[in-house]
Structure 1
């Protein structure tokens, strides 16, 4: 977490080239192409079966037809209330948000209050920046990729991992951020779009399936280059971005040294102390380059711990002065104390990683962290003004010291440089913009000195630059420790021991900040990261750095790490360049700090301070609840009025008390895995498919108040369930192949999914189907900002695992606001539905799309005539009948009626003197068992299938008979039937017409009764199963 300048990425310039499209098509089978770089985990059996069933490839160039619906006889319409964000999906049921030719291009993320923070590696770009949206196409369903010849060497790192980077001659810039995940970078060389109808008959003689979707490959968007040129460009790319990161980091290290050693006692030694900062960063970078799993990692001195280090150094200076120690002895005590503290922090962080306790450091409440970071911002601002104006600012009252002519004159160029740096970060579109500005500011200063005839010594006397020091070799720096023998006479141990409480606080903030760094890198990394392993790397770097005598804590600088990843860096040469430059600055006998103006370093610190203050004390209002925002400010004020340790302790106590107050109002059963299944009545073939695909859907019910402590445990439990979805594919396929339900399918006239001629298609469809994890918030009473942040991390982890998150019952506006602010709900993020049934229905619809593409069930039909409905039941009707003739005769005894959405077909408790056959549209059948006396009910539902409000709702589509049960039992209606979606057209048969049919057309009555009996039994069985499932999931 470095206060250094935020490096931003610019959109790679697209060249206008002709793009050819290619697609895939096969009879009754989909086009599911896997990208080797980005596919999600899949079992060996699924891979093998899918490969054996892959459709043939053909070239197409046709427009995309309208999207067909998704069910068969009982249509699964879209949910009643549209989800808060609904993305269109491709043939496999996966996201496909655009039909245009630039489908592979990412739109610029909308800016929020942290979207353009110039702070590298700090927690605020992660917490305060809008999370990167989910990809339009999950990696396991990415389109086939065309790679220019001669690029094979560019596609693998040293570990053999597949990598695809932006072309070397089009580097990432500091402009708008774009997602850096592998599937996005793949989109630079692959195109998608267009449809192709599949050919071939459906099983059981069902109609031709024309819902296939083709997938196309695009020609390379960049001209092909020889291998040697590609390899040379890659090395140039590694070196270039290593130098850029080093140039950006160098002045920041000097600013950090000025923050830590801000007491005037250390001012004469600032040049040498800045060299120790270079050494610390060089050692941190070396360790990360050698041991990190990320070849593009950047590890430097971390900003979040600087305030504790500064507090230690300042406290030691005051204590030593009171005890009569010399300045050199106070400096030696400070250097030794900071080195020991950094060593202790490193060991503790390694232990956290070794014992896999990374999640524990996330229990610190976000308002407390926010209040502390707000103080960090204020401290940086005050330190920047102090350094630029040469005035001491340590209290609110001391700000009056800048109210003099000399201070204001020095403050003017510092404020101007701050503004220039800010505009560069906001408007710059080249990766060289920031380094050039950083070089130009001191150059302009020296030009002004030359133009005015002012010498460097005169500028130093006027406090524009630091006083020059004689050249010193690097080994002479260790003389500052003032250790001449084993007696340590020049060290104040009493002052050192008084800093122990600050060491504990330093460990907490460094561990917490490092966890956020790893989480932020994980959000953009194409592969899952091991949090505990990365923490062990952080701990090792701090331990080794402390042993060199450079006591400055460090960690991943996530913004620079992500910047390097997106710039196409995938070897460790990049990190070696950064470390080499920093080692060189340490080894130089001269100190560059004496040639750079004080306002230059002051402007950097002022920039950091303004951005952090704005992010945490103003814009954080959008990221936390109102009560937590008050707690954040209260923590900040407590730190300002007391000291660092006591202020943070007060903040934690206030956060705990607030949680206790909120938590005491609810009863908690936080985590329950519940049965899956919507209330939509499906055709028999569709239910068979959904029973198989049910293994790729998990539903979890959350309840109570989710806070900063319980959210971590819930996240771990959710990830365990998600990994089960991925890990059990082989077992599910083997179990379903021998399922007795397959024999039942034969008896119902449906081809079993595991028949020899359908086994490969079934396995391929199962492997290609998406995975869903549904979180139900119906019983959640509230959550805090830390929990919302944890859900944001969970969303990214699930996405990297190939599991799509679906949220239901998000009825609390405050919770929805927090989840939106942390990138969980919103455009291109996870789906959100008002009810659990609608969320499950959405998942089932995606499964059925995949099944239809593989020919496992018929495509949807939104309209069924009476003849079509009769033919669906022809296999179980005794005898042979001309269904067209029977339908014509039956229609003479029925009346066709139409209903608009919201109109009632039947009302509760009214006489049941008719029943309805739905030909078009969807109806909602609602039951409210508590409103009707038990004696009048058609079915005596036991207590264990009654919902808390004694009410249920089910959806029925074309081909359904409604009201038949009460009609046959001659009792008042126990269900309400309402037209739900679209225009509903139904055939109504009254009792008098039914009796007339029995007298006049015996054959028609046999067909009607057979259809009525079969449909009623199947529907009732389905309803009963759903009631049992929903009862099991009731909190």
Structure 2
């Protein structure tokens, strides 16, 4: 928590983005390198230079958020410098020789002055039940002792020599709930006589055992390297919990100042009297004024100075009014003086095992589980924040073990939960103090206060502690109940409020549980609403002759490809069916000229009879009406792409992570039956084996064979599915390979040079298209062209070889691919060889390398018996000199091929 929270970032204050980081125990959602958190839970930000090396000082500080709950802003040091001169880790401890003894002592005292009032307030929050008030002085000593134990553990075992660790607020409410549960449990059995010694002993042992067990759980979590597991707690739930902490602190502060028992909102009516309002108003106003001061000004001395001013004003008022300290105690302004202050050894006698009632341990298990997740989550965020401020990586699992060890030792010594204190740790870090003596001094000063023979709270006014608790409440509640609306979606913001309200109406455990349930439903709703189905325009990586490519471009919309993403489950099946109905076109009438086929292929009666554009969605709702013509018939016929009836429907599973059985039956099986009614072929591409088996079990693929007939087909990749669809379109349009229609020569072989002549485009100059000089005769072909026959599996050229010329595919198939060695050398995640494209009859190979005068970037291999026309670089230059008009046709072929590739690439989706 940060003293100013998001208030420091609101436009109305118009202040720099350097808010104070004040309240102990940060809850920031620091963006760690692991990227495990997406929502900032902090209440302010510090300059980027305070987290990163000087080279990154120019970056926007708003991109890095800091944890909260720190009582000071470490902005007194010059920004823009590296935080530490060496890397800090478990094995290489930095040793800053510039840290003098005086500097260590100064920061040790400063950290202690900041920590002690917070520890006293935390003790009053943990033991807020009125039953504990007579023992408050002793209980405060136990909390201070626990803080000293935490600091000693962090000083000795942390990889950060400047670490500050104390009792932290993340587990306070859970400990308080456990303590109140013990008291209420004993009160519910009036027939059983019990003493306050039994209440105290049972409560202390319950809290200590819970803390020790928490430490063991954190150590195990770190040992198993599953620190990221605890970060799955939804941030809106954590936000609601933090807002509840603020409200809880406010109730505790009001209860303490007004000498009333306030546990529920209904108890607030007890404050509706003059006496109570007089007692609590100064503390509330003081807390709000401190909150405003911290949000408006950035200085390390603001909070300590305000605390000193409150003390000074209180005693000045006593002096001026002539009242004694006993009079102030009698009026309720100061806690009563204990009859006989106990020493720490006498306080530990409260841990009387013979007075403990073990029946109260098991009922605390749900509260303990919730405390484990919240404390572990908070500690992980603290470590991530320190990591960003440090400018180097930390081992999250190791640091979580350090927190666990600290809690284990604290629990075994009768203490309470704790963790890193972000603000004090960063303060010491930026001061370049790398000596562990700083932490040792904090520990010694806290022990010294514990050993004092008098009660601190008997001389400090309640206004002092009430102002501090009001400050905590204002920061947390304003941040999470108001400013958080800018940091999350509306539904997530509603989860924050829902969690907060449930915690107030019921209890912590129910609030966290129902908050998680609400966050889960919100996720399901968001996941369903997210676009998990996307229509894409794709073409296969097959290069054909120009006439086939032109036809396929006009008919490309007859292939509908839906790209599926994420986990397809029962909640998303309805949306998928809507997408299917929306994109399948069962009626696409066009002006008459559009039906003219280039190759006069037969067309179905359906194509000529249907009028207008009708999707399955429109067909289900109303009769189709003709679509207004945007173009004339002639203009429409010249369009490269226009609406055509859907023939093939492809579902691409490449990005699908899983499918449940409900989605298979309610979506994919229903899609198959729907498409079958309209004679549309359904194809599945890139289907994982587990999902394919599930489709088979539910009869989605029943009775179908790969690549045969209509119905449902499964292909290894989307590219292969598209290639099959394009082949089917060419067959349906009656397109025959040119090699099959060529006349035969005297030797019985088909006329090869006439085939190449037909494959080449016409001369760009229309007046020369019938000129004999542009005709590729057999004689000219033998002069310039070298026939090459390759069997399946034979290599045409290899990656890295010098480009000798270009190849025209007469018939057969050639795969151009990136070899495995080069593909895997691109980095992690690349494996095996990658097919770049497949070249069929009429396609050109190595034209781009020839023009760019580069070595071959890929390897070309024949996939079937293939006939190639090879034009070498030398003969191409000779052709340009001796037969320039013929050479222009070859140049035109290269330009047409590359221009068509660019157009297809522009139309296709990535």
What's the TM-score once normalised by structure 2's chain length? Answer: 0.54
1:459 corresponds in structure 2 to: 328
Cα distance in 1 for partners of 2:169, 2:402 equals 18
Q: Decide whether the 8 Å contact of 2:500 with 2:511 is kept in 1.
A: yes
Q: 1:236 aligns with which of 102, 107, 112?
A: 102
Q: 1:248 aligns with which of 114, 128, 142?
A: 114
| Correspondence list, 1:39-188, <5 A | 110-111=16-17, 115-116=19-20, 118-124=22-28, 126=30, 127-129=40-42, 174=73, 183=82
Q: Decide whether the 8 Å contact of 2:227 with 2:397 is kept in 1.
A: yes
Q: Secondary structure at the match of 1:119?
A: coil
Cα distance in 2 for partners of 1:472, 1:660 equals 56
Q: 1:610 aligns with which of 458, 474, 491?
A: 474
1:406 corresponds in structure 2 to: 275
Q: Is the aligned partner of 1:479 residue 2:344?
A: no
1:540 corresponds in structure 2 to: 405
1:523 corresponds in structure 2 to: 388
Q: Is the aligned partner of 1:394 residue 2:263?
A: yes
Of 119-128 and 402-411, deviating more is 119-128
| Correspondence list, 1:434-473, <5 A | 434-469=303-338, 470-473=340-343
Mark the runs of 5 or more structure 1 residues left unpaired by the alignment: 11-107, 144-171, 187-229, 671-700, 708-777, 782-908, 915-938, 948-959, 962-997
Q: Secondary structure at the match of 2:24?
A: strand
Q: Decide whether the 8 Å contact of 2:182 with 2:203 is kept in 1.
A: yes
Deviations 1:761-785 (A, max 9, x none): xxxxxxxxxxxxxxxxx9899xxxx
Q: 1:565 aligns with which of 415, 429, 434?
A: 429
Aligned-residue offset at 1:643: 1.2
Aligned-residue offset at 1:132: 6.1
1:292 corresponds in structure 2 to: 158
Q: Is the aligned partner of 1:325 residue 2:189?
A: no
Aligned-residue offset at 1:343: 0.5
Q: Decide whether the 8 Å contact of 1:117 with 1:125 is kept in 2.
A: no
Q: Is the aligned partner of 1:370 residue 2:239?
A: yes
Q: Is the aligned partner of 1:385 residue 2:260?
A: no
Deviations 1:404-441 (A, max 9, x none): 11111112220232134224423444433322322232
1:845 corresponds in structure 2 to: none
Deviations 1:834-889 (A, max 9, x none): xxxxxxxxxxxxxxxxxxxxxxxxxxxxxxxxxxxxxxxxxxxxxxxxxxxxxxxx
Cα distance in 2 for partners of 1:263, 1:629 equals 32
Q: Is the aligned partner of 1:509 residue 2:374?
A: yes
Cα 1:457–1:137, aligned 2, differ >3 Å: closer, same or farther?
closer
| Correspondence list, 1:347-746, <5 A | 347-469=216-338, 470-483=340-353, 488=354, 490-550=355-415, 552-664=416-528, 704=566
Cα distance in 2 for partners of 1:307, 1:912 equals 83
Mark the runs of 5 or more structure 2 residues left unpaired by the alignment: 9-13, 31-39, 58-70, 86-95, 535-562, 570-653, 658-760, 767-813, 818-833, 839-850, 853-876
Aligned-residue offset at 1:315: 1.1
Q: Decide whether the 8 Å contact of 1:304 with 1:510 is kept in 2.
A: yes
Cα distance in 1 for partners of 2:172, 2:161 equals 27
Cα distance in 2 for partners of 1:249, 1:571 equals 19
Aligned-residue offset at 1:236: 2.4
Q: Decide whether the 8 Å contact of 2:3 with 2:20 is kept in 1.
A: no
Cα 1:233–1:653, aligned 2, differ >3 Å: closer, same or farther?
closer
Of 653-662 and 405-414, deviating more is 653-662
| Aligned pairs, number | 556
Cα 1:142–1:605, aligned 2, differ >3 Å: closer, same or farther?
closer
| Correspondence list, 1:195-210, <5 A | none
Cα 1:1027–1:638, aligned 2, differ >3 Å: closer, same or farther?
same
What's the TM-score once normalised by structure 1's chain length? Answer: 0.48
Q: Decide whether the 8 Å contact of 2:234 with 2:519 is kept in 1.
A: yes
Cα 1:474–1:1022, aligned 2, differ >3 Å: closer, same or farther?
farther
1:50 corresponds in structure 2 to: none
Q: 2:168 aligns with which of 279, 294, 302?
A: 302
Cα distance in 2 for partners of 1:277, 1:910 equals 93
Aligned-residue offset at 1:611: 0.8
Cα distance in 2 for partners of 1:398, 1:467 equals 24
1:16 corresponds in structure 2 to: none
Q: 1:341 aligns with which of 207, 210, 214?
A: 210
Q: Decide whether the 8 Å contact of 2:24 with 2:169 is kept in 1.
A: no
Q: Secondary structure at the match of 2:160?
A: coil
Q: Decide whether the 8 Å contact of 1:7 with 1:174 is kept in 2.
A: no
Aligned-residue offset at 1:322: 3.2
Cα 1:534–1:181, aligned 2, differ >3 Å: closer, same or farther?
farther
Aligned-residue offset at 1:578: 1.3
Q: Secondary structure at the match of 1:653?
A: helix
Q: Secondary structure at the match of 1:499?
A: helix
Cα 1:1012–1:504, aligned 2, differ >3 Å: closer, same or farther?
same
Q: Is the aligned partner of 1:260 residue 2:126?
A: yes
| Correspondence list, 1:965-976, <5 A | none
Cα 1:181–1:554, aligned 2, differ >3 Å: closer, same or farther?
farther
Q: Decide whether the 8 Å contact of 1:4 with 1:252 is kept in 2.
A: no
Aligned-residue offset at 1:399: 1.4
Q: Decide whether the 8 Å contact of 2:4 with 2:295 is kept in 1.
A: no
Aligned-residue offset at 1:625: 1.1
Cα 1:528–1:409, aligned 2, differ >3 Å: closer, same or farther?
same
Aligned-residue offset at 1:518: 1.1
Cα distance in 2 for partners of 1:137, 1:287 equals 25
> What is the Cα-based RMSD across aligned positions, in Å?
4.9
Cα distance in 2 for partners of 1:456, 1:124 equals 41
Cα 1:495–1:1009, aligned 2, differ >3 Å: closer, same or farther?
same
Cα distance in 1 for partners of 2:50, 2:409 equals 43
Cα 1:132–1:419, aligned 2, differ >3 Å: closer, same or farther?
closer
Which structure has more RCO (C-alpha within 8 Å, separation ≥ 6)?
1
